[in-house]
Amino acid sequence: MGDSWQECMDYAVTIAKKAGSEVCKALKDEVSIMLKSSPADLVTETDQKVEKIIISSIKEKFPSHSFIGEESVAAGAGSTLSDNPTWIIDPIDGTTNFVHRFPFVAVSIGFAVNKEIEFGVVYSCVEDKMYTARRGHGAFCNGQKLQVSGQKDITKSLILTELGSDRNPEVVKIVFSNMERLLCIPIHGIRAVGTAAVNMCLVATGGADGYYEMGIHCWDVAAAAVIITEAGGVVMDATGGPFDLMSRRVISASSSAIAERIAKELQIIPLERDDGKKEN
């Protein structure tokens, strides 16, 4: 089935470009904002419009495939991953950035078969950077091969994270406490660009040495996870265990040494899984 997955990947790149041009066009207009789970968890009409464009285009070409899309799930669709070829879509990763016109906004399209991510496409629209990777075939940005920094020493690392959209004071305390623990190792610094997909792609480029976050969803990280590993990096659960697409926690890094050291410092935020299953 190798060639047919390549056909899917080529189509994903085409669709991501089309979606990205819609996003860039919308950035010039007035943005209509709605709230989701909290005053900091935003969604726009463009999120919903772009997801419809992506899913309807793919359904037309691959009618037997399954979908997990951020806005479809928000509207009540499930996010169960089956063995069927499944497209995992975030139409605008970085909605808050989009609303404020902060220039890091990405279209993220992951593709899983037999519950394993086969390829990922992340299009950072404003930058016009197309990140792509297929399992076993390497990772690229605009056709240039990507390689992680390979950094193994946490004290020489630049780490990326996000503050998240949960404004529960207890959660906010944990978020800041985790940053404080890492800063005091010490590390070189912490950065946040406002999109999980772009953060992970920056680790894949070697521009940062690690990224962690709790509270993300499968559509934020599905595509970028394969981009990291194909660039020679590591993806794991924030607990230090194996990466679980549905756990809503991730660490990605330039090496196992960095990933494990980050995991050692983190206090875990309790979260409901994307697939609704109970944590063991």
Query: Could you list the active site residues?
Result: 70, 90, 92-93, 95, 220
| Contact status, residue 247 vs residue 217, Cβ threshold 8 Å | no
- Burial class of residue 70 (count of CB atoms within 10 Å of its CB; 0-12, 13-18, 19+): buried
> In this structure, what token pair is assigned to residue 151?
């950094």
Helix (H) or strand (E) holding 126: none
- CA triple 192-198-202, angle to 5 deg: 80
Q: How far apart are CA 278 and CA 280, in angstroms?
A: 6
> In this structure, what token pair is assigned to residue 5?
């997955």
| Contact status, residue 76 vs residue 104, Cβ threshold 8 Å | no
| Contact status, residue 111 vs residue 120, Cβ threshold 8 Å | yes
Radius of gyration of the chain (CA): 17
| Contact status, residue 63 vs residue 258, Cβ threshold 8 Å | no
